[in-house]
Structure 1
Amino acid sequence: MKLRSLAVAAVLLSLTGGLAACGEASTAQPAAGTKLAVVATTTQVADFARIIGGDRVAVTQILKPNIDPHDYEPTPADLTAIGAATVLVKSGVGVEGWLDATVGSAGFKGTLVDASTGVKIRQGEGDEEKTGDPHIWHDPRNAKLMAQNIEKAFAAAATADAAAFAEHLAGYSAKLDALDANIAAKIAKLPASDRKLVTNHDAFGYYIDRYQLEFVGSIIPSFDTSAELSAKDIDDIVAKIRQTGAKAVFSESSLPPKTAEAIARQAGVKVVAGEDALYGDTLGPEGSAGDTYLKMMEHNTDTIVKAIGG
């Protein structure tokens, strides 16, 4: 995937006419009455950026809803937006494997914000041990840290609006605390023997750790949805479902549901898909049950509780 990202970036560079190489970060402040130009990579950090920035920032979101961030291929428009941005926000932990080459080609001279700074990263196995689990937003406490990192960068880039950014952060942090408490209360009502989760891929580790669920397994046993699925993987997850008594297989909004449906049938359990699918790697489109981070977390929790608590 890394080699392909480099190749894509090279093509985009030729399409945009050869932008300047990435230089030192600019310290220039936006002119009075001008919004801070922000580019955010994933749907989650774009949501945080809009909330923290409010009407003081103009956010360009690279990844669209229900688009898998692991295997994204940047466009010429992405290069143009990044090259013109004052602040670039990434989720981090390797989820945007395509970003480094893209930034280098875009001639970005602003501030790059790694929203994962300060987050305790879950470790993986094999090759994934090097980077860890990138799905940090599934714990609201991590989302709170991500929002803080964004606020700090915005305040430095537009000092005249620092008080407004701090006010927005305080209000949003309170909502994240309330969300965390609400999810914990809902999960706590489930019998311990029912708290078993089977998902499309290994995207919910932080959620599982935070709310004391039992991870039975995933259809794609990897943090990355582009990992190949073998017949043995399918046999293993079916066996685990039967052995543990898990009640459901949860599909994800950004992945095709066919494999989840087939495994659920083979294991003799229900599949949760369609509008009820979990939001794993991405928020949902406008008007959906997952079009903001807060709504996404509420939807996932209510869906899980309903499916395994019956």
Structure 2
Amino acid sequence: MRQRLFSGVICLLLLSAVSFVHAQDDRLQIVASNSILANVATIVAGDAADVTSTMPAGADPHSFQPTPNELTALADADIVFVNGALFEEGLLEAIENAGTDMNIVTASSCVDILAFGEHDHDHEEEAGEHEEEHTVEPAAEVDSDIAALCESHYAEMEALHEASHDEGEESAETEDHEGEDAEHDHSAGESLGPLYTLNCESQDHEEEHEEGEHNHGACDPHVWLDPHNVMYWTMLIRDTLIEADPANADTYTSNAAAYLDELDTLAHDFIVPMVESVPEENRILVTNHDAFGYFAAHYGFEVVGTVIPSGSTLAEPSTADVAALIDTIREANVPAIFAETTVNTSLADQIAEETGATIYTLYSGSLSDADGPASTYVDYIHYNITTIVEALGGGIE
């Protein structure tokens, strides 16, 4: 009797173990290209799916090349989220060369993509008024499913904005976002439009690409520097996970809703007051490379120069480029040069020594390690905005 009872217990334990393994096998396996995107996907997925990042925290996305093991993890994933706009060019080239067939989803499909140079406007003008300096051929075909999905996201963003902000509220941020939230004219002159309507590769990009260089072409891919764009990421990730795993739709929906509220609060209740504390004449930026355009365009800053005159950290400035930047810093009386954690600061240090500007370090293409000040996207924004604002003479006690 005792032996039969013991055998029964063992069978139950074995069945439980098999059921647990089967349940684990059924969980969505998600890979995001970089640590920022992985953090957002992790928050939306919650406990219902497994999320990993191809690029580790601290990696420079512009120079990153995946290992064979990382390519295997990508191939085994149910969904691979990428930023798009040629940000992961080296990664996508490696995938293509490996011949792997995987479900790649562009998280920025519904984001208004800026052309490089669109955000370098006079900071005395209202944010959102940009000169048209780009020529990009539209994509040959528009995916009607993506187009419909994006339209639903624009309507959802408008509803969120109306629900969380008084209609009579006026600020530099809300004036800038007025066109996006009220009309959603995503083909307006101030932007290239959503990714699904255009071809990011300009002729110049194709020529440089043939020489083995990485360049983002006409598109600025650094969309996450404006939290509104990460709200579009959140919506698209949510809808993608629901389609792939409808059994956990409630989890993905509730997680996304809570995070959208958090991002909306971050954009309006944290960033706007911080920016307004900076004197208007001080709202100028010199950054290590051209990565902070979306922040500048949305919140009324002017990017007057970059140490590396490119959207890629792999470019090399000429002697004339460096001399011109030094002159610009002196003429504009720029107090700060913003370096980055993923890029060597030696040239920025030299320019700071030459001009008397102070070096401050920001996080750009990567989160920090878990014990660092920017281990989540929300912490990343808090750290960067606080650093920028205090460096330029602002701050809220």
TM interval, short-chain normalised = 0.7 to 0.9
1:53 to 45, 58, 63: 45
- Aligned partner of 2:266 in structure 1 is 179
- 1:221 alignment counterpart: 309
Listed one character per residue, the Cα deviations across residues 33-61 of structure 1 (whole Å, up to 9, x for unaligned) are 53210111011110111000011111121
Structure 1, 117-126 or 217-226: larger mean CA deviation: 117-126
> Residues 115-141 of structure 1: CA distance to partner in whole angstroms, max 9, x if unpaired?
010111111266468441010000100
Deviation at 1:64, TM superposition (A): 0.9
2:389 maps to which residue? 305
Counterpart code for 1:139: D
Q: Is the 8 A contact 1:113 1:149 kept in 2?
A: no
- The answer for the alignment partner of 2:15 in structure 1 is none
Instruction: Note if contact 2:274-2:389 (Cα within 8 Å) is conserved in structure 1.
Output: yes
Q: Which residue of structure 2 aligns with residue 165 of structure 1?
A: 252
TM-score (norm 2): 0.67
Q: Structure 1 residue 308: deviation in Å?
A: 1.0
Q: Contact 1:199–1:218 (CA<8 Å) still a contact in 2? A: yes
| 8 Å contact kept, 1:40–1:89 | yes
Structure 2 CA distance for aligned equivalents of residues 53 and 307 of structure 1 = 36
In the alignment, what sits opposite 1:122?
A: 114
The offset of 1:110, in angstroms, is 4.5
- Structure with bigger gyration radius: 2
Task: Say how many residue pairs are matched.
Answer: 277
Q: Is the 8 A contact 1:60 1:81 kept in 2?
A: no
Alpha-carbon distance in 2 for matches of 1:106, 1:154: 26
> For residues 94 and 52 of structure 2, what CA distance do their matches in structure 1 show?
15
Alpha-carbon deviation of 1:261? 1.2
Counterpart of 1:193, as a letter, is: E
Q: Does 1:198 align with 2:286?
A: yes
Q: What amino acid does structure 2 have at the position aligned with 1:56? A: A
93, 104, 109: which one aligns with 1:101? 93
Aligned 8 A contact 1:252 1:278 in 2:
yes
Percent same amino acid among aligned pairs? 34
- Measured against aligned partners, the alpha-carbon deviations of 1:171-213 in whole angstroms (never above 9, x if no partner) come to 0000100110111110011110111111100000000111111
Amino acid at match of 1:266: E
Structure 1 residue 287: Cα displacement? 1.1
Q: Deviations over 1:13-41 (max 9, x none)?
A: xxxxxxxxxxxxxxxxx965532101110
Quickly say closer, same or farther: Cα 1:129–1:226, change in 2 above 3 A. Answer: closer
Report the equivalent of 1:36: 28
Superposition map of 1:1-310 within 5 A: 32=23, 34-104=26-96, 108-124=100-116, 127=205, 130-181=217-268, 182-272=270-360, 277-309=361-393
Given that 1:80 and 1:106 are in contact with CA atoms closer than 8 Å, whether structure 2 keeps it comes out as no
Secondary structure in 1 aligned to 2:59? coil
**Letter aligned with residue 278 of structure 1:** L
Structure 2 counterpart SS, 1:124: coil
What residue is the counterpart of 1:6 in the other structure? none
**Contact conserved, 1:88 with 1:110, CA < 8 A, in 2?**
yes
- Whole-Å separation in 1 of the counterparts to 2:54 and 2:293: 25
**Given that residues 216 and 246 in structure 1 are in contact (C-alpha distance below 8 angstroms), is that contact kept between their aligned partners in structure 2?**
no
Change in 2 beyond 3 A, CA 1:213/1:130: same
Q: Deviations over 1:119-169 (max 9, x none)?
A: 111112664684410100001000100111111111111110111101110
Per the alignment, do residues 251 and 130 of structure 1 end up closer, same or farther by CA in structure 2, a change over 3 Å counting?
closer
Cα deviation code 1:209-241 (max 9, x no counterpart): 111112111100110000111111111111111
Q: Contact 1:283–1:293 at 8 Å: present in 2 too?
A: yes
Looking at structure 2, the residues matched to 147 and 237 of structure 1 have their Cα atoms a distance apart, in angstroms, of 37
Report how far residue 280 of structure 1 moved.
1.1
Please say if residues 42 and 282 of structure 1, whose CA atoms lie closer than 8 Å, have aligned partners that are also in contact: yes
TM-score (norm 1): 0.85
